[in-house]
Amino acid sequence: MKKKKNIILFLFIFTNISLFAQNPPFNGNGDGTAGDPFQIWNLTDWKEFEDSVSSSVGYPSIWWHQGKHFRLMQDVADSLKQSTSALRGHFHGNEKKLTLAIIYNPQSSNPSSVFFRGLSDGGTIDSLVVNGYVSEGIISSVGSYGGICTVSNCINNATVTTIYGSVAGITRSNSGIISHCINNGSVSGNDNVAGIASQNIGATIAGCINTGNITATNSGSNISLSGMGGIVAVSGGSISSCINFGTIEGQRNVAGIVGWASAGPPTWGTISNCLNAGFIKGEKIVGGIAGYYEVISISNCLNTGVIEGEEDVGAIVGKEP
């Protein structure tokens, strides 16, 4: 009899844990499909959404949000804590504003992100507007694991700053597709600082605009594979139809579009149909389109901005190998 009760109790606990793990606590607003996404109306909904994704642990609950759709229904303001999981679903910003204020913890080796630690398994973010003060852009990384991830039609108006490594207005690392995004916020950091993405390795950035001022205290510190740019700091992927209007100021490998551009097979990099109209200032290897570039194609690009530097300065490219 006791054994039977234990089995019943186990089944009850297991069933309830599974139901909790598989379903976000959104009080029945939507069913998570594209036609009827889960709805986020206020700060309470937002925190439940954030917490339920961040606390998803243990297979299969870690992926309950994979393929699910979420829609921001109204403007929301929040101060975020560090997220602990990548988003594997589809977040529709609905052109609403997410206003954030992040307080630095100097003792932390992993400062807070705007969104989640990453975007994975074919996840997407679109039409989100971010205001306030953040530490890593809209999302820490855009991945390709389990399916190409995309960020589209998003706008960052927030001031972005970090005391750590790479930083950009949209993402630190892009392995997916970023299209038609705008950074209006000022972005500052140590090295690998950019308006759209710090790193774009074998990935795609298209139709993006930077108007924010980008500054770095030690750009190009590693001599290779580091720098700063209005669109991307380091790229070995495809960049097309992008424009920089912002002021870009650093030390080495400084440019209006890409600070360091380099690629090899099978992902030959390209920069095409891009424009720099911003003021670019550095010490060495300074260019209107690219600071340093090798094994990469640059075509149909134009610079109308003022370029200032002391060594290896060019209207299009600062230095070639």
Average model confidence (pLDDT) for the chain?
83
Q: E strands of 5-128, at which residues? A: 38-40, 69-72, 76-78, 90-92, 97-101, 124-126
Chain centroid to CA 83: 14
By mean pLDDT, which of 55-69, 165-179, 279-293 is the weakest?
Answer: 55-69
Looking at residue 22, its pLDDT comes to 44
Q: Is the pLDDT of residue 81 over 60?
A: no
For 52, phi then psi, to 5°, come to -70, -35
What burial letters (b/e) apply to 208-227, b meaning 16+ CB within 10 Å?
bbbbbbbbbeebbbeeebbb
User: Alpha-carbon distance 168 to 231, whole Å?
Assistant: 9
Could you give the domains of the chain?
2-319 (2.160.20)
Looking at residue 15, its pLDDT comes to 39
Question: What single letter denotes the amino acid at residue 42?
Answer: N
| HSE-up of residue 282 (Cα within 13 Å, Cβ side) | 35
For 62, phi then psi, to 5°, come to -60, -20
Looking at residue 114, its pLDDT comes to 59
Mean pLDDT calculated for residue range 153-157: 96
Chain centroid to CA 300: 27
Other Cβ atoms less than 10 A from the Cβ of 101: the count is 13
Tell me the percentage of the chain whose pLDDT exceeds 70: 79
With bands split at pLDDT 50, 70 and 90, how would you rate the model's confidence at 20? very low
With bands split at pLDDT 50, 70 and 90, how would you rate the model's confidence at 84? low
Q: Is the pLDDT of residue 170 over 80?
A: yes
Q: Which two tokens stand for residue 71?
A: 């829609």
Residue 167's contacts (CB-CB under 8 Å, 6 or more residues apart) are 135, 136, 137, 160, 161, 187, 188, 189, 192, 193, 198
Residue 21's contacts (CB-CB under 8 Å, 6 or more residues apart) are 56, 58, 60, 61, 64
DSSP labels for 166-211? -EESSEEEESSEEES-EE-S-EEESSSEESSEEEESS-EEES-EE-
Q: Which residue would you say has higher pLDDT here, 190 or 104?
A: 190
> Each residue of 233-282: pLDDT tens digit?
999 899 999 999 999 999 999 999 999 998 755 556 899 999 999 999 99
Alpha helices (H) along 200-244? none
With bands split at pLDDT 50, 70 and 90, how would you rate the model's confidence at 7? very low
Looking at residue 29, its pLDDT comes to 78
Residue 25's contacts (CB-CB under 8 Å, 6 or more residues apart) are 48, 52
> Each residue of 184-212: pLDDT tens digit?
999 998 889 999 999 998 899 999 999 99
